[in-house]
Structure 1
Amino acid sequence: MTEQPPGRRPYNAANVAYIESAGGKIVHAVWVSDPAITPEEAYANLLRRDLPYEVEIIAEATRHYRYEGAGFSGWVVTCGANFGDPIPNKREAYKQLRWAVADRFKPRGSK
């Protein structure tokens, strides 16, 4: 494993935080390089380009409702360009989100 510079949070699944937004209808898996910055603060400033730290949204889970025009009611987890299947409840969506984050950091070529 490579050595991390002092004052920098390791870039791995263990250092990803889960932040709810939109009244709990979206859950973001966020990594921020500076341990002194809360993931919530980093997410709120995500679009700024003048920050002295890095922020990355690793994955997210989004709630969909049939009555709003979706083809189902439930959750979908996305990680990069990968979209998961519909998930019926939030607890299962969190499990799938954690799995997607762990998979994202898994060394390529490992099973």
Structure 2
Amino acid sequence: MFGRLDLLGAELARIDRDGARDLAEPRFVRYLAWIDGEAVAAATATFTDAGAVLHAGSTKAAARGRGAYRALLAALWEDAVRRGAPRVVTRAGPMSRPILRRVGFQELAEIDFLVDRFG
């Protein structure tokens, strides 16, 4: 959500509505990376028997290039290994794709999103 203030209101409403249930679910994990006492990156993941799904990740612009996102990925990978999750998957946007490739993620498919402008 860092840098996406246009999404903040909807995300805060979702957290208010679903946050307690999310956190009570042991398969749902929220990660934070800190630099000098400040939360600078966040990610969420869900663990299943088939593997882990990295839902979202974001780093504050001022903290980019300092390893925060890579630290989140490392923590997620450690959790996946500890839980016996055989794989980690995600849908990566243009900012995350290069980082994910550098740490070993491989592109498996391309997803086209279709928007119904008439509904």
TM more than 0.5: no
More helix by share: 2
TM-score with structure 1 length normalisation?
Answer: 0.28
